[in-house]
Structure 1
Amino acid sequence: MTIDHRNLSRINNRKQVLQQLFNNQETSRAEIARQLNLNKSTVSSIYSELNALGLIEEVRQGESTSSGGRKPNLICLNQNYGFVASFNIGTSYMASMFNYINGEIIQYSRQPIEHFDILNIMQMIKNEIKHMEKVDQTSHGLLAIGFSIHGIVYHNKVIDSPFLELDGIDLQEYFEKEFGVPVVLENEANLSAVFENDFYASDQIKDLITISIHRGIGVGVIANGSLYRGNRGMAGEIGRALMTDRLNDGSNELVKVESLCSEDAIINQVKRVKGLKHIDGAELSRLYHYDNQVLQIFDHAIELLAEVSYNAVVSFGPQEVYFNSTLFEDIPELFDRIKARLIEMGTFSPIKKIEGSRMTSLLGASSLAIHRALDLEHYKLKMRWPNEVKNVD
C-alpha cells in the first residue's frame, strides 16, 4: 500500500495548528506560522478548514508592527464548540464534571448513590448527561466522555475494581453506542497524575508521581512526559504490595498495604475502637487531636504510609511528588508529618499536597476526553488551572 506522505504531513500540520490554538489564549495566523515554521499559506488553508468547522473564535484585532501594515486578527480555540463529560464512581457517591472543549469547568456536582448496582449508576450517568444536553448552548454539544475508575484499567477496560461490579458490562462500548461519542476509562490515581501533568507541570518537569490515598492506595506515574501504565495497567498499584502485619498473638501475617493504612482502613479502625457506625471529617479531626486511641491509629498509619511512599519515590525517581487524599484536607497535620518523615528517610524530590483532591481525577478524565475529542492524544495541551484546586508545598 502506498503511503501518501503529503496527506500525512497535512494531518500533522493541522494537529499542530490546533495545538497552538489550544495552548494560547490568543494568537494569530502569522504567529502560528512562525512558531511552527510553516508557510503562511499552509496555515491560512488549515485556518479556513478549522474556522469552517467552528473551532476558531476571533478575539480582537492586534497591534500592527513597527513598520506598519495590516493589524492581525487575534484568534483562539472556540470554547463553545462543544463540551466533555467526566464521572468518578465512589463507594457511596457519584461525582460528575462538565468542561468546555478548552478545559474550562462548566459544572461540578456530587450526589449519593442510593442503590449501588451498575445499572442504577449507569442510569444516573445518563440522566446527568441528558440534563446537560438540555441546557447546553454549544454548537456541537457532547464531544467525549471520561471515567475515573477506582481499580485497574487497561485499554479502556476495567480489569479489576475492589467495589465496582460491572456484571460483564463494557462501559466504553455501552456509552459510545448510547451517545455516539468516544469514551475513555482510566485509573483514578493515573488521572490525578494526568491532571498534574496537563494542568500544572512546566515543560521542564517530565517525571512526576501522585500518591492517592482513598479506599485504596495508588500511584499515578508520568514518565518522560507521558502516563506510564505498565503491563495490563498494573503500574503504581502500591496498595497491593504485601507487608508484614504483627498480630496480637505474636504471629506475623502478610497483608496488603492498603488494608492497614488506606483512608478506608484508617476510618474503619477509628469507627471500630470508638464504636461508631458513621464518622465525618470534622469528627475524625476532633478525635485525632483529643483521643489517644485514635492518635495511636494515625501514628501507626503515618509510619506505614511514609514507608510505602518512600518505596514509590525510589522506584520511580520523580522530579516532584504530589499527595492526593481528603484525609490531608480534613487533618492537614497528617501531610506535614508524612512529608517530614519522608525527608528524614532521604527523599529529595519536592513533596506537595493537592487541595481540592476530589476534583483532580475528574479534571484528569476531562483532559483525556478533550485530547480524544480533538484527536490530539499524543500532543501536549496546556489546560487552564482551576480555582477550585491548589498545590501546597
Structure 2
Amino acid sequence: MVNKVDQDAMRDVNRKLMLQALFNAKQTSRSEIADQIALHKSTVTTIYRDVEDLGYIEELGEGAVSKAGGRKPKLIRFNRQFGYIVSFDLGRHHLRYLVARMTGETIARGQMTVTGMAYRDIKRAMLSYVAQLGDMHTERGLIGVGVAIHGVVEDNCVRYTPFHTDLLEHDLATELTEELDVPVFLENEANLAAVYLRDFHDYDSEETYRNFAVVNIHNGIGAGIIQNERLFRGLHGEAGEIGRQVIINNDYLAAGKFDAPIHIEDLYAEDAMLSRLGVLKGQDEITRDDFLSLYMGGDSDAIALLQEWVHAISRTVYNLAQYAAPEAIFVHSRFIAGTPQLLDLLLQTYHEILPESDTPLFFAKNSVNKATLAGGVAIVTRHLLDMMGYELKFTMTEEDEADANWL
C-alpha cells in the first residue's frame, strides 16, 4: 500500500515532468504532455490545475483536430510573461546586467563601470537599476536575481574574490533579498558560463555533451565543470580555480621578479597581460584594444607576449583535459574574440602536445559576458521552479544570436 509520503513524492515528480515538458515545448497540449511523460490524461489534468494555479501556463488558442477526430486541442506553453529575472555580472571593472524572461529571452541589457567603487555603492547601483525597471510588461514583475561572482561562492556567500574584497565582509544575497523581496542567488562566473552552454546548447555541434568544461580567461582564469549534466562545484565551491595552478621553472622565477609562487593567472589573465605589455612599452595603461592593435600591426612585444600566452593557455587546457577527461573543453577569451587567428594558433599548439588529448577544444560562440549573464538567468529559473536536476531548454532571442559579442 502506497503511503501519503510516497504519494506526495510521486505527485511532485509528475508535476516536475509536466513542467519540463511544458517549458521545453514551443507549443503543446495536455494530451501531448500525457503521451510524452506516459501519464494518464486524468493525472495530467489534475497536475495541470496545480501548474495553472501557479501561473505557469499560457494559453495559445485551439489547435487542429487530429486525424482520429474529436475536439480541437487547447494549445499551451510555459507562460513567458510570468515575470522577469535580473542577472548581474560583478567583474573587476564593470557591473554588467541582463533582464530576461524565465525561458531565457532577453528584455534589456547593459553595463556600468564600478572600478574602485565601495561595496555599498555597488549594491546601491544594483538596487537603483532594478528600481527603475517596473514590471517590464510581465504579470508579476521581478521574480528573482542572480549575481555572478569572480571568485569562490559557497552556501550563497562569497568566500574568496581577488576583486571587490569587501564582498567578503557582507552577505550580499541576504541584503539584496531583504531590499528586493525576491530570492537572490550567487554563483561563480565560470560555473554560470558552463550552465549557459548546457542549458542554451550554444555550441557548433549536433552532439549534446554531458561532461565538459568551460575555461574563462578574463581578469582571472577559471573553469566551470559539468559532469553528467550537473554542475560540479567541488569542496567549498572551489572546483575549477585553474588560474591558481603554480607555474614551475618559469623565467620570471629565475629572474627573481616574484617573491611568492607564481600562479597561471598572475601572468596570463587579461589584466596581467595588459600590465606586462604596459611595462614593456613604458605606459601606465594599455587597453585590450590597444594590445590587439599592436599585435595586428606587427609590434614585436605584443606578438611575443601573445605567443607566450597561447602556449601557456594551451598547456593549461591540456592539463585540464588530463585531470578531468571531459568530452569537450570550451574557451571563452576576449583576446580570441578580438583576434580570431589566435584560435588557430591555440588549436595548433594544443594538438602538438604529446600524447595528443582526445578531448576536443572549441572556442565558445558567445562572449564570456553574455554566457555568464544568461547562465545566471538559467540558474535562477531552475531554483524558482525547483528543477535543478531536469533538462530544460532555454531560448536565445534573434537579437542575441545576431549580436553574440554584445559586451
CA contact (8 A) 2:60 2:75 kept: yes
Percent identity (aligned): 31
Task: Choose which of 257, 260, 273 in structure 2 pairs with 1:266.
Answer: 273
SS in 2 for 1:30: helix
Q: What's the RMSD between the two structures over aligned residues?
A: 2.0
How many Å separate the matches in 2 of 1:273 and 1:76? Answer: 58
TM-score normalized by the length of structure 1: 0.94
Residue in structure 1 matched with residue 142 of structure 2 by the alignment: 142
Residue in structure 2 matched with residue 347 of structure 1 by the alignment: 357
Residue in structure 2 matched with residue 382 of structure 1 by the alignment: 393
Return 5+ residue gaps in structure 1 as ranges. Answer: none
SS in 2 for 1:377: coil
Q: Letter of the aligned partner of 1:116 in structure 2?
A: M
CA contact (8 A) 2:266 2:272 kept: yes
CA contact (8 A) 2:102 2:378 kept: no
Stretch moving more, 36-45 or 197-206: 197-206
Q: Letter of the aligned partner of 2:214 in structure 1?
A: T
How many Å separate the matches in 2 of 1:356 and 1:258? Answer: 19
How many Å separate the matches in 2 of 1:248 and 1:130? Answer: 50
Task: Choose which of 321, 337, 349 in structure 1 pairs with 2:329.
Answer: 321
SS in 1 for 2:247: strand
Residue in structure 2 matched with residue 161 of structure 1 by the alignment: 161
CA contact (8 A) 1:93 1:110 kept: yes
Shift of 1:223: 0.5
How many Å separate the matches in 1 of 2:271 and 2:257? Answer: 22
1:311 aligns with 2:282: no
1:116-172 deviation digits (Å, cap 9, x = unpaired)? 11100000000111111x252211111111110000111211110001222521011
CA contact (8 A) 1:246 1:252 kept: no
Q: Letter of the aligned partner of 1:331 in structure 2?
A: T
Shift of 1:203: 7.5
Residue in structure 1 matched with residue 295 of structure 2 by the alignment: 288
Matches within 5 A, 1:43-122: 43-113=44-114, 115-122=116-123
Stretch moving more, 155-164 or 53-62: 53-62
Shift in alpha-carbon separation, 1:118–1:250, aligned structure 2, 3 A:
closer
Shift of 1:249: 5.6
Shift of 1:252: 9.3
Matches within 5 A, 1:93-242: 93-113=94-114, 115-132=116-133, 134-165=134-165, 166=167, 168-200=169-201, 204-242=208-246
CA contact (8 A) 2:210 2:228 kept: yes
Q: Letter of the aligned partner of 1:247 in structure 2?
A: Y
CA contact (8 A) 1:326 1:358 kept: no
Stretch moving more, 153-162 or 339-348: 339-348
How many Å separate the matches in 1 of 2:281 and 2:146? Answer: 39
How many Å separate the matches in 2 of 1:12 and 1:141? Answer: 28
Shift in alpha-carbon separation, 1:48–1:341, aligned structure 2, 3 A:
same
How many residue pairs get matched? 389
Q: Letter of the aligned partner of 1:270 in structure 2?
A: L
How many Å separate the matches in 1 of 2:342 and 2:271? Answer: 15
CA contact (8 A) 1:146 1:183 kept: yes
Return 5+ residue gaps in structure 2 as ranges. Answer: none
Shift of 1:282: 3.0
